Amino acid sequence: MRQRQSPHRSCRALRLCGQANLFGVIRSLVSQGSGGPEVEACKKTLTGRLDALARAHSLATESRWRSIDLHALAAATLEPYATGREGAIEIDGEPLPLEARRALSLSLTLHELATNSVKYGALSAAQGKMRLTRRTVRDEAGSHAELAWEERGGPAVRPPERRGFGTKLIDRVFEYELEGGAEIDFRPEGLRVRAWFPIS
């Protein structure tokens, strides 16, 4: 006998499908048409950001917009950059649940760092590696999360002549949206980003 599906499951499935379709429609609209190299580069950048948001949004929906573990978020966001590069990306640290809406912003930051690494940093080199670590620190002021993004084995790093979108995004996400802060160190041997934000 065929079992009837729960109305709650049906509604949830429809919501998931609808959200996936929405990201697909937006991505399709962005990809339409053709243009010069600058236009194509902008389209590629935008679709990459949409894909990162879509993956994070899917995790948030699965959790019913409660919390997402940072490891799961980072793994989903960085998975496209790990393809064909076994061992190049390492994610390490203790479990760290994030409120779903905060996780969406953080996913964009991780995406921008990975994109930059593929273009100019460690992931642009065959032997390059990057590592993301996380930990929870507890003191008199409460608990806060600390993240460290470290790259090595890539071309020599030089500080940029101007602040790009990625740098501005890191500042905005960690300082304003997560109420923490971030330090970016353009070390010659590899980029390092240290960030922190309070957690409940």
pLDDT average, residue stretch 28-56: 62
Q: Is residue 11 assigned to a domain? A: yes
Q: Is residue 2 assigned to a domain? A: no
pLDDT average, residue stretch 75-91: 86
Q: Tell which residue, 123, 54, 127, 44, has the closest CA to residue 82.
A: 123
Q: Is residue 139 assigned to a domain? A: yes
Q: Is residue 129 assigned to a domain? A: yes
Per the structure, the count of domains in the chain is: 1
Q: Say whether pLDDT at 20 is over 70.
A: no
Domain that holds residue 59: 7-199
For 45-91, the three-class secondary structure string (H helix, E strand, C coil) is: HHHHHHHHHHHHHHHHHHCCCCEEEHHHHHHHHHHHHHCCCCCCEEE
pLDDT tens per residue, range 123-141: 999 899 999 999 999 888 7
The whole-angstrom separation of Cα 130 and Cα 152 is 6
Q: Give the global pTM.
A: 0.75
Higher pLDDT, 106 or 58: 106
Q: Is residue 61 assigned to a domain? A: yes
The whole-angstrom separation of Cα 40 and Cα 45 is 9
Higher pLDDT, 56 or 171: 171
Q: Is residue 1 assigned to a domain? A: no
pLDDT average, residue stretch 67-87: 86
- The CATH number assigned to the domain holding 30 equals 3.30.565.10
Q: Kindly state the percentage of the chain with pLDDT values over 90.
A: 36
